[in-house]
Amino acid sequence: MTQIEENKIIIAVLRLGILLLVCSLFVASCRSSGGGSGGFEILGPADETPEAGKLVQSANEDLKNIKKLYEANEGKRQELKEALEGNNTADVKKISDDVVQIINEGFDSGKSAVEKIQQAEDMKINDDYKEYLRLKESALMKQMEAFEQYRKAAQSLRDKYDPKNAALRDIVKADFTARSENYQKIMEKARDYSNQANELYKETLKKQRGQ
C-alpha cells in the first residue's frame, strides 16, 4: 500500500466528518422554500423538518467519531510503508490488522449515520430536503463501499503477505492493485452523488432568495 494511496484514504475519511454539516443550513432553507400564501403545508401534514434536523446532527456526531479514529491512527500509513519496504512480515501483518480494526470501528459509526439519515428521509419534510438527504446518503454508502475495498486489501496483507513466497506475493500485489482501482471508481461515484446534493442545495437557496 503506497503512501499516496494511504493519503487518499485519510483525506476521504476526513471528508466524512463534514459530509453532512451543510444539512443544518439546508433545514432552514427547505422550510422557507415551502412557505408563503401558496404553501401546501396549510392542508398537508405537520412539518417534521426540525426533528429531521436533530437526526442529521446526531449523524454528524457519528461521522466525527470516524474522523477521530482515523486521525488517531494517521501514522499507520507511514508505518505500513516502512514495514513493506523492509520486508518486515511481522510488522506488516500487525499494522494491517490494526487498519482492519480501525475500519471495522468506523463502519459501526457509518452504519449508525446512514440509519439516522434514512429515518430523517422518512419524515414529513420538504421534498428538496428529502432529495438532498437521499443524495448525501448515497454518497456516504458509496464511501463505505470504497473503504470496504481497502479493508479487504489490508486483510489480504495481514493473512497472506510473505516476501519469501514470490508467487503468493504477486497474488497479494495483484489483489491490492485491483481493489485500489475499485476504490477509485467507487469514490468517483460517491463524489458525483455529493456534487448533485450540493447543486440542489445551491438551487434551493436561489429559489428562497427569489421569493
- What is the pLDDT at residue 90? 92
- What is the pLDDT at residue 33? 46
Spell out, as residue ranges, where the chain has pLDDT lower than 70.
1-46, 70, 72-74, 211
3-class DSSP assignment, residue 79: helix
Alpha carbon distance 36, 26 (integer Å)? 18
- What is the pLDDT at residue 185? 92
Distance of CA 52 to the CA centre of its chain: 20
Give phi and psi for 161, each to the nearest 5.
-60, 125
- What is the pLDDT at residue 38? 39
Rounded (10°) angle between helices 3-16 and 166-209 = 30
- What is the pLDDT at residue 76? 77
pTM of this structure: 0.70
Burial of 152 (0-12, 13-18, 19+ CB in 10 A): middle
130: its cell numbers: 428529502
Whether 190 and 143 have beta carbons less than 8 Å apart is answered as: yes
- What is the pLDDT at residue 172? 86
Q: What is the chain's Cα-based Rg?
A: 21
Domains and CATH numbers, the chain: 3-13+46-205 (1.20.120)
- What is the pLDDT at residue 26? 54
Alpha carbon distance 30, 24 (integer Å)? 10
- The greatest distance separating any two alpha carbons of the chain, rounded to the nearest whole angstrom, comes to 76
* Tens digits of residue pLDDT in 111-142: 999 999 999 999 999 888 899 899 989 988 99
